[in-house]
């Protein structure tokens, strides 16, 4: 692009004919992500056949990544939302009303308030494609609605306390953690299952690729249940008390729990203890949030700190101080961090990779105290559940503008939904593929030569020892053949064999006596003098 090039000076030397492609920084980043890591080093390979094969595969990879990068750069239909402040304006000063007035009608319709003051603070969650919203009021009000078209799919009053709600693989099923048990409902509002193994559940979560419903509650038991087969895959006793903060890492499927002693633990169904235990805060952890690439973890504790961690290296990156302890957090698809406490919601942009100085947007709830909030996938909307109902807030630039039809389609028809369910079940991942580093699947685990050698030598030594023991036993048995008669045993008892053992016993007795004498002497030496005052007596070693 001509305006970006520095003005060429005459006589500067040979100017290159090729113009450097100036790419959109986001497109650059996506292209880098598409590379999925460095290429194989072909120079170190001596086997010609293998080298040729790898060269061809690398060429195929490179061409496919180039194509995907080009498609992503040129062929995607939509672009992300933006909010720019002009002049001395600052983005955090913009009120929601002003933003709603400035956008087009269909986008403005996405910001609404549902006033439901009677049935308690509301929990809310969205489906993976962002089309359906599930509300769960504390006093038992469950409602499933297509929120963009203001269409209520089902509504049911369960007459029990509802602590948390979660969608299963699509909008046809959802789970509600009620007073005693967890219930699964159909999209018609009919109760389909009552999961009696789950008692006093505080938080529910669903891993979509593994079809695992996770729950944690009063007893601190983390349960994984496969919702396609109905088996309970794993039950882990966290032994860290009641817990109600649970999130899963979308990159590797690991479940993160925030505990009241300030630590965050990471769990997989395969290990009975936590895979990772991190001490994050002084005091209970109130909120957790993970970004979709599984790189950053944001934690909030009662010590009014928000800490950002690198989850892959388990290192702290930044720490922010808030005026009051933050009670809820969420991270959107494009990395915007939303924090909330009381009646305030703040959205921060670029707060994870680098330390941000000021928020991006703020919102003050007109009515009700904050209960929960979630970003809607593929939309620039933050859904807030509070004690007076539901509100939505427009957050430009939060959602991913271009969805993939075969992953999550907001305009899904019934047939497409059925197809996707079948494909998802066919592609269902087994719970033992949940590992901290998902790249290890399919890798060859190289064992260092000395470790292998040691292991082999240990094996041979153990085998030799076992064989020797067996041989000795066999010999002893052979020796004992015909020699273990009762008369012989009786004779041995009467003989002087006992005499032979006597010296060792006598020796031991002598040793005991000398030891006791020494101990008595020592005690006499270190005895406390009788004129020492009582306060001083503890300094004399006994």
Partner 1 sequence: MKVKVISRSEEEYTRERTSDLRKVQRNYDPLLHPFEKAKEYTRALNAAKLDRVFAKPFLAALPHDDGVTCLARNPKLVNSIVAGAADGDIRIWDIPQKRTLRRLVGHTAAVKGISFAPDGETCVSASTDATVKLWKVPYAPFEAGVVQDDAEAVFEFQGKNAFRGIDHHWDRSAFATAGAAVDIWDHSRSEPVQSFTWGSDTVTSVRFNPAEPDVFASTGSDRSIALYDLRRATPLRKVVMQTRSNALAWNPLEPFNFTAANEDCCLYTFDMRKLESALGVHKDFVSAVMDVDYSPTGREFVAGSYDRSLRIFSVSGGHSREVYTTKRMQRVFAVRFSGDATYVFSGSDDMNVRCWKAKASEQLGVRLPREKHKQAYNDALLERYKHMPEVKRIVRHRHLPAAIYRASKMRRAVTDSDKRKLQRRIDHSAPGSIVVKPERKKKILAQVE
Q: Could you list the residues that contact partner 1 (CB under 8 A)? A: 30, 33-34, 36, 68, 71-72, 76-86, 89, 94, 98-99, 102-104, 106-107, 110, 209, 250-253, 292-294, 333, 378-380, 394, 396, 399-411, 413, 416, 426-430, 433, 438-439, 441-442, 444
Backbone angles phi, psi at 487, to 5 degrees: -65, -40
Could you tell me the smallest distance in angstroms from the CB atom of residue 225 to partner 1?
19
Backbone angles phi, psi at 416, to 5 degrees: -65, -35
The two tokens of residue 47 are 């086997």
Nearer to partner 1, 333 or 346 (CB): 333
Burial call 406-435: b when 16+ CB within 10 Å, e when fewer: eebbbebeeeeeeebeeeeeeebeebebbb
Measured distance CA(172)–CA(539) in Å, rounded: 74
Could you tell me the smallest distance in angstroms from the CB atom of residue 104 to partner 1?
6
Torsion, Cα 235 241 246 252, to 10 degrees, reads -50
Nearer to partner 1, 81 or 368 (CB): 81
Other C-beta atoms within 10 Å of 542: how many? 9
Contact 153, 171 (CB under 8 A): yes
Could you tell me the smallest distance in angstroms from the CB atom of residue 438 to partner 1?
6
Q: Please give the distance of CA 307 from its chain centroid, rounded to a whole number.
A: 16
3-state SS, residue 388: coil
Measured distance CA(350)–CA(360) in Å, rounded: 9
Could you tell me the smallest distance in angstroms from the CB atom of residue 58 to partner 1?
14
Nearer to partner 1, 30 or 304 (CB): 30
Could you tell me the smallest distance in angstroms from the CB atom of residue 221 to partner 1?
26
The two tokens of residue 444 are 């060859």
Q: CB within 8 A of 274, min separation 6: which ones?
A: 238, 265, 266, 267
Nearer to partner 1, 253 or 325 (CB): 253
Nearer to partner 1, 219 or 428 (CB): 428
Could you tell me the smallest distance in angstroms from the CB atom of residue 194 to partner 1?
31
Could you tell me the smallest distance in angstroms from the CB atom of residue 336 to partner 1?
13
Nearer to partner 1, 77 or 503 (CB): 77
Nearer to partner 1, 32 or 477 (CB): 32
Could you tell me the smallest distance in angstroms from the CB atom of residue 84 to partner 1?
4
Antiparallel, parallel or unpaired: β 361-364 and 141-146 = unpaired
Max distance between CA atoms of the chain, in angstroms, equals: 119
Nearer to partner 1, 139 or 435 (CB): 435
Site of tokens 């080093």: 41
Axis crossing angle, helix 48-70 with helix 25-35, rounded to the nearest 10: 150
Alpha-carbon distances, residue 109 vs 99, 370, 515 (angstroms): 12, 22, 91
Could you tell me the smallest distance in angstroms from the CB atom of residue 106 to partner 1?
5
Nearer to partner 1, 100 or 156 (CB): 100
């Amino acid at each position: 692009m001509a305006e970006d090039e520095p003005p060429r000076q005459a006589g500067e030397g040979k100017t290159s004919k090729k113009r450097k492609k100036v790419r959109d920084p986001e497109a650059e980043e996506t292209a880098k992500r598409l590379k999925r890591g460095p290429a194989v080093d072909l120079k170190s390979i001596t086997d010609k056949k293998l080298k040729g094969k790898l060269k061809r595969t690398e060429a195929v990879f490179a061409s496919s990544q180039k194509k995907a990068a080009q498609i992503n750069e040129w062929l995607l239909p939509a672009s992300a939302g933006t909010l720019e402040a002009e002049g001395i304006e600052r983005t955090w000063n913009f009120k929601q009303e002003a933003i709603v007035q400035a956008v087009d009608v269909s986008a403005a319709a996405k910001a609404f308030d549902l006033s439901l003051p009677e049935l308690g603070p509301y929990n809310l969650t969205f489906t993976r494609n962002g089309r359906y919203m599930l509300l769960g009021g504390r006093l038992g009000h469950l409602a499933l609605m297509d929120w963009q078209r203001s269409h209520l799919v089902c509504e049911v009053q369960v007459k029990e306390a509802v602590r948390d709600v979660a969608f299963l693989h699509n909008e046809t099923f959802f789970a509600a953690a009620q007073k005693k048990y967890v219930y699964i409902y159909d999209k018609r509002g009919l109760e389909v299952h009552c999961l009696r193994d789950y008692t006093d559940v505080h938080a529910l979560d669903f891993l979509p690729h593994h079809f695992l419903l996770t729950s944690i509650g009063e007893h601190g038991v983390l349960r994984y249940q496969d919702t396609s087969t109905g088996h309970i895959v794993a039950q882990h006793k966290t032994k860290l008390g009641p817990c109600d903060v649970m999130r899963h890492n979308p990159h590797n499927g690991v479940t993160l729990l925030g505990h009241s002693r300030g630590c965050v633990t990471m769990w997989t169904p395969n290990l009975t203890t936590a895979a990772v235990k991190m001490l994050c805060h002084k005091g209970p952890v109130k909120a957790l949030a993970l970004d979709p690439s599984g790189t950053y973890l944001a934690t909030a504790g009662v010590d009014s700190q928000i800490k950002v961690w690198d989850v892959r290296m388990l290192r702290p990156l930044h720490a922010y101080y808030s005026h009051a302890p933050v009670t809820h957090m969420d991270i959107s698809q494009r990395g915007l961090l939303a924090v909330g406490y009381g009646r305030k919601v703040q959205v921060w942009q670029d707060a994870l990779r680098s330390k941000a100085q000021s928020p991006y947007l703020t919102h003050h709830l007109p009515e009700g105290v904050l209960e929960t909030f979630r970003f809607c996938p593929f939309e620039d909307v933050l859904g807030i559940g509070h004690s007076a109902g539901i509100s939505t807030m427009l957050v430009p630039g939060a959602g991913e503008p271009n969805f993939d039809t075969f992953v999550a389609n907001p305009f899904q028809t019934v047939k497409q939904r059925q197809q996707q369910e079948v494909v998802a079940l066919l592609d269902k991942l087994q719970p033992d593929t949940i590992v901290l580093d998902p790249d290890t699947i399919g890798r060859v685990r190289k064992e260092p030569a000395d470790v292998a050698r040691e292991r082999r030598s240990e094996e041979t030594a153990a085998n030799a020892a076992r064989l020797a023991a067996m041989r000795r036993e066999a010999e002893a048995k052979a020796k004992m053949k015909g020699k273990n008669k009762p008369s012989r045993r009786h004779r041995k008892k009467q003989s002087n064999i006992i005499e032979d053992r006597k010296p060792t016993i006598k020796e031991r007795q002598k040793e005991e006596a000398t030891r006791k004498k020494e101990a008595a002497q020592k005690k006499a030496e270190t005895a406390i003098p009788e004129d020492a005052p009582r306060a001083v007596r503890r300094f004399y070693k006994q």
